[in-house]
Amino acid sequence: MERRKFLTLAGTAAGTAALAGCSSGDGTPTDGGGDTATDTEEPTATERPEPETREGYLQRANLVLNEEAPWIFLNRQYSVYGKSTDIAWQARRDERIDAYAIEPQGSKSSVTITQSQLDSGLDPHDHRETPTDNIVLQAYEGLLSRDREGRVTNQLATGYERVEAGQVRFQLRSGVSFHSGDSLTKQDVAFSINRIVQSDVGGLESPQSDQLAGVTGAEPADGDSAVVVSSDGINPIVFALFASYCDVMNRSWVESNDTAYINSHMNGTGPFMLDNYEQDVEISYESYDDYYMDAAPADSLTIQAAGEASTRVNQLLSGETDLIVNVPPQNISQVQNSEDSEISAVPSTRIIYNAMIYNREPFDSPQFRQAMNYAIDLESIISNVLSGFADQTGQPTLEGFVGHNGDVDPYPYDVEEAERLVEESGYAGAEIELHTPNGRYLKDLEIAQAVVGYIDELENVSAEVQQRDFGNLAGELLDGDLSTSPAFYLIGWGNATFDASQTIIPLLTSDGALTSYSNDRVDELMNEAQSMGGEN
């Protein structure tokens, strides 16, 4: 107990050294955690009274998962941007760049952003990765949105409410027009939602349908300028889903154009309209004069890409671009030392972890899994491998998310405890192999090597790193068969809904798409949580 408390302090210190502003949740009371946690062999969580709220259930699930240690909890990744001093801008938590928030300084009126990759087509419903999101979201908007900190805000909706279980209603903003000049109608909104969730609408099999999981369809409300969305079951996070996904498109525009056209043109309601699209080269926008709010501070915007981090950094240093993504730790000082550029970093929604498959030796022993968490010096990994640009984690849910348990701390570094737990687990002398992709996540291989280095230092366990091609590894993890997966692997998970369920359900419940774990208590807690309406 004391050890954990000590580590919180140390961890906080590391976090604040890296950057200020790691705000904690919204002050809701958290589910009690540490009072009985000294003896981790007993599933102590069951002895506490059942939670009463959805958030309480989620917090309880996080507590149980911390104790059961299905993962080695590693770091919360930061989004590290380099920006020119010619613009005022602050990084968002959800890895997206909203150019509407970029303010050019002085006489400057155009802004250039350099990403690592360009789009995979401009159809806002036909992709699901951040580089394309960033390109599309400048021109398209959804019903709801999020502010920089991740809080849900109104966008094309002026209000939303749950009408009954399985039905929610969005009130639409008036006076909104598409770039083509057409006014936004409730039919457009309903069509856009249906285009994602129903494969026979809009000529598209949308890869975002899983992102609107549970939503079955939408229809325009009678009379009023509103849309009614139906879902199966109560779907507690339906509003959170609409804050991250489902851009609204113009129905007649979609229906009168072919796929190739929709993928190379944009007709949204957003603050920027497409000026010129040169596939694989660059995309330029200009400010949309008839935007329903103040016009964007920048008159024009260009998005380009450079896959090499050093190329992006050089572009920034020589003033050819204003904002670059993913500055690697080794280049951070270069950007900081220049007078014309600075680093803007923010904790992202991505967690990096090592999964230990629960039914494979030696990971079928909770003691062994806990031992692995005690064995690593996470604080040192973060300061040495990631130059301090990361936070420690001790539960699957990140700080600031609905369901994060504030009383659960990261595991401390304790070699003796780790060795003791290994003995207790009966797996002394175990040899384990950590599978890791190389280059998929920031410093993934280096993190894996550090983890394995610490584990290998234990007297009774030896460990090795196995480098894997990401596609190859992903294929094994996603085939729906746990026995073909490596028993121990490093992977990252981004969750833009800011809700614990979208991490725990896919990764840590028995039927999750990418699960490595099965525990009746966790399944039960998550079922309870998902059957209750949440706050948002």
Site for other proteins, rule CB under 8 A = 117, 119-121, 126, 128, 199, 205, 207, 209-211, 259-260, 263-264, 279-281, 304-308, 310-311, 314-315, 317-318, 320, 469-472, 474-475, 478, 480, 493, 506, 512-514
Q: Which of 21, 277, 281 is nearest to 148 (CA)?
A: 21
Tokens of 297: 């501070």
Residues 6+ apart with CB under 8 A from 84: 316, 319, 321, 322, 323, 340, 341
- Residue with Cβ nearer other proteins (109 or 199): 199
Tokens of 396: 């699957």
- Residue with Cβ nearer other proteins (112 or 373): 112
- Residue with Cβ nearer other proteins (10 or 213): 213
| Min dist. Cβ of residue 507 to other proteins (A) | 8
Query: What does the H/E/C string look like for 103-156?
Result: EECCCCCEEEEEECCCCCCCCCCCCCCHHHHHHHCCCCCECEEECCCCCEEECC
- Residue with Cβ nearer other proteins (9 or 478): 478
| Min dist. Cβ of residue 303 to other proteins (A) | 13
**Omega of the bond prior to 486 within 30 degrees of 0, cis?**
no
| Min dist. Cβ of residue 242 to other proteins (A) | 17
Give the type of residue at 476: E
Give the type of residue at 133: D
- Residue with Cβ nearer other proteins (40 or 438): 438
- Residue with Cβ nearer other proteins (333 or 472): 472
> What is the DSSP secondary-structure string of 176-225?
-B-TTSPBP-HHHHHHHHHHHH-TTSTT---TTGGGGTTEEEEEEPSSSS
| Min dist. Cβ of residue 288 to other proteins (A) | 25
Helices assigned H by DSSP within 349-414:
366-375, 378-385
Residues 6+ apart with CB under 8 A from 198: 217
Residues 6+ apart with CB under 8 A from 467: 436, 437, 438, 445
C-alpha span between 378 and 407 (Å, rounded): 19
- Residue with Cβ nearer other proteins (65 or 184): 65
C-alpha span between 493 and 502 (Å, rounded): 10
Residue 389's Cβ-side half-sphere holds a number of Cα atoms within 13 Å equal to: 21
| Min dist. Cβ of residue 286 to other proteins (A) | 18
C-alpha span between 12 and 3 (Å, rounded): 14
Residue with the two structure tokens 């027009």 = 177
- Residue with Cβ nearer other proteins (205 or 255): 205
Residues 6+ apart with CB under 8 A from 466: 433, 434, 435, 436, 486
Tokens of 348: 């992202």
| Min dist. Cβ of residue 134 to other proteins (A) | 15
| Min dist. Cβ of residue 247 to other proteins (A) | 16
- Residue with Cβ nearer other proteins (96 or 128): 128
The residues that bridge with 220 in the sheet, in sequence order, are 227
| Min dist. Cβ of residue 138 to other proteins (A) | 18
Rounded to the nearest 5 degrees, what angle is found at the Cα of 416, between the Cα atoms of 412 and 417? 55
φ, ψ (nearest 5 deg) of residue 405: -100, 105
| Min dist. Cβ of residue 261 to other proteins (A) | 11
- Residue with Cβ nearer other proteins (147 or 342): 342
| Min dist. Cβ of residue 108 to other proteins (A) | 18
C-alpha span between 316 and 13 (Å, rounded): 30
- Residue with Cβ nearer other proteins (156 or 324): 324
Residue with the two structure tokens 């961890």 = 11
Residue with the two structure tokens 């083509």 = 180
| Min dist. Cβ of residue 36 to other proteins (A) | 33
- Residue with Cβ nearer other proteins (16 or 259): 259
| Min dist. Cβ of residue 461 to other proteins (A) | 29
